[in-house]
Amino acid sequence: MPKTISITAIASLSPLGFGAETVRENYLSGAHFFSRKTVGIQTVPVGALSAEAEEIITTLRYSDQKYKSLDESVLYAIAVSREAVRKSGWQPQDVFGINIGSSRGATGLFEKHHKEFLETGKTATLASPVTTLGNISSWVAHDLQSDGPEVSHSITCSTALHALLNGYAWLQAGMADKFLVGGSEAPLTDFTIAQMQAMKIYAKEIGEFPCRALDLDKKQNTLVLGEGAAVCCLETGKKDHAMATIAGIGYATELLEHNVSITTEAECFQKSMKMALGNHSPEEVDVVVMHAPGTIKGDMTEFKAIQKTFGDYIPLLTSTKWKTGHTFGASGMLSVELALLMMELDVFIGVPFAKAQPKTRPIRKVLVNAVGFGGNAVSILLEKA
């Protein structure tokens, strides 16, 4: 029998703010949290950090001389990791693992140092160490003075849920009894936005809802980039202070026709969701927090995969992207945060422009999905503790 794994705390930093009360209030509001950014001669919607969150990151950067040279993705991870560990009650003497990944890593610093190199033919002394992907977990471990294993990885937009899978595996194997897992992303650079525009998936209009994730009738792509970080604390056993337990995990990768392809019925999602459900009946799932990036194909293929997996019974469906934008490697853990909040409050937090879905029973089991370039899907089934 697999061991019970509890989620004992979660913390995030995003356009929704920082701190449980602020984040909760903003999830419950019917508003999105996008601002505008000028890219070349264009003005585009972005999911930038709230002013409160920006102030916290600025304070953190200047709190330690060594932190002044770190990328924002690292600082975001440090800030949320401190908060999650505090909320979980972990003590300085506790040994715990850390797995915090990122799709892009030190995007801003990499572009800055590369530009300097092109202009001068030279680069700064710290250019290499501050732009490595392993920088995130290493600096979090330094900040928390952790003696446990450190792992960083990039599995594109499913990175944070892959981190959760990895932490879960370590705990099941008995190689650790606590793991801090999640993702961090700071992708709001002109070059990164230009890459999304080149793929013709970025939102072109700044209307009432710039990102129309879960609008299955939309006629154009509406992906909006967001920034932020989210981590949760995993512990072996059913803890008294647990927010939820992990009832099932699933993962799958499908064969690609090209670099960003996904089949019309998202076979990778069908496989990952079925694996996560295991022996649970599909009708036990109350809500699915979809990946739903706001693109025509991305949203529809995942919806078709849900139809294939659940049959006549379709759970309540929601997504975070219409509020925060797509935070790449951090997005899966923000979806976990939304799932935990709905279970805690027993309130369905839906999408205002999606088809109405009445809540008819308590929210006790929520399935969370994520997928990234490469067709690497992850599904996590959470059960209220």
Query: Do residues 182 and 329 share a domain?
Result: no
Average pLDDT of span 68-74: 96
pLDDT at 316 (0 to 100)? 98
Mean pLDDT (the chain) is 94
pLDDT at 42 (0 to 100)? 85
- pLDDT at 255 > cutoff 80: no
- pLDDT at 363 > cutoff 80: yes
* Residue 38 pLDDT class (50, 70, 90 cuts): confident
- pLDDT at 2 > cutoff 60: yes
Query: Do residues 232 and 253 share a domain?
Result: no
In the numeric block, which tokens belong to residue 317?
A: 């469906």
CA distance 106 to 139: 13
Q: With contact defined as beta carbons under 8 Å apart, do 27 and 341 qualify?
A: yes
pLDDT at 134 (0 to 100)? 86
Hunting for tokens 């797995």 — which residue is that? 99
Query: Do residues 342 and 377 share a domain?
Result: yes
Residue pLDDT, tens place only, 78-105: 999 999 999 999 998 899 999 999 999 9
Residue 166 maps to a domain: yes
CA R_g for the chain: 20
Q: DSSP readout, 313-366?
A: ---EEE-SHHHH-B-GGGHHHHHHHHHHHHHHHT-----TTSPP----S---EE
In the numeric block, which tokens belong to residue 274?
A: 């079925």
Look at residues 229, 217, 227, 220 and name the one whose alpha carbon lies nearest to residue 197.
220
CA 101 centroid distance within chain:
10
Residue pLDDT, tens place only, 193-250: 999 999 999 998 778 999 999 999 999 999 999 999 999 999 999 999 999 999 999 9
* Residue 256 pLDDT class (50, 70, 90 cuts): low
Query: Do residues 164 and 278 share a domain?
Result: no
The residue type found at 116 is E
Query: Do residues 224 and 286 share a domain?
Result: no
Please report which helix (H) or strand (E) contains residue 52, including its range.
Answer: helix 51-61
pLDDT at 207 (0 to 100)? 80
Residue 106 maps to a domain: yes
pTM: 0.96
Pick the range with the lowest mean pLDDT from 132-141, 158-167, 206-215, 254-263: 254-263
Residue 243 maps to a domain: no
CA distance 115 to 123: 9
Q: DSSP readout, 252-312?
A: EE---SSTT---TT-HHHHHHHHHHHTTS-GGG--EEE----S-HHHHHHHHHHHHHHHTT
* Residue 39 pLDDT class (50, 70, 90 cuts): confident
* Residue 118 pLDDT class (50, 70, 90 cuts): very high
Containing structural domain, residue 270: 248-384
* Residue 261 pLDDT class (50, 70, 90 cuts): low
Query: Do residues 153 and 91 share a domain?
Result: yes
Residue pLDDT, tens place only, 374-384: 789 999 999 99
Specify the CATH number for the domain of residue 267. 3.40.47.10
- pLDDT at 258 > cutoff 60: no
Look at residues 299, 274, 272 and name the one whose alpha carbon lies nearest to residue 165.
272
Number of domains in the chain: 2
Look at residues 317, 292, 322 and name the one whose alpha carbon lies nearest to residue 211.
322
CA distance 199 to 253: 22
pLDDT at 257 (0 to 100)? 60
Q: Which of 236, 269, 298 is the last residue of a domain?
A: 236
Residue pLDDT, tens place only, 122-133: 999 989 989 988
pLDDT at 204 (0 to 100)? 87
Average pLDDT of span 136-140: 96
- pLDDT at 1 > cutoff 90: no
In the numeric block, which tokens belong to residue 37?
A: 């950014």
Average pLDDT of span 32-47: 90
Buried b (16+ CB within 10 A) or exposed e, 210-234: bbbbbbeebeebbbbbbbbbbbbbb
Query: Do residues 303 and 363 share a domain?
Result: yes
Residue 40 maps to a domain: yes
pLDDT at 262 (0 to 100)? 67
Hunting for tokens 């190199």 — which residue is that? 117
* Residue 142 pLDDT class (50, 70, 90 cuts): very high
Hunting for tokens 């509001």 — which residue is that? 29
Look at residues 165, 169, 182 and name the one whose alpha carbon lies nearest to residue 88.
182
Query: Do residues 146 and 268 share a domain?
Result: no
- pLDDT at 173 > cutoff 70: yes
Return the higher-pLDDT residue of 69 and 263: 69
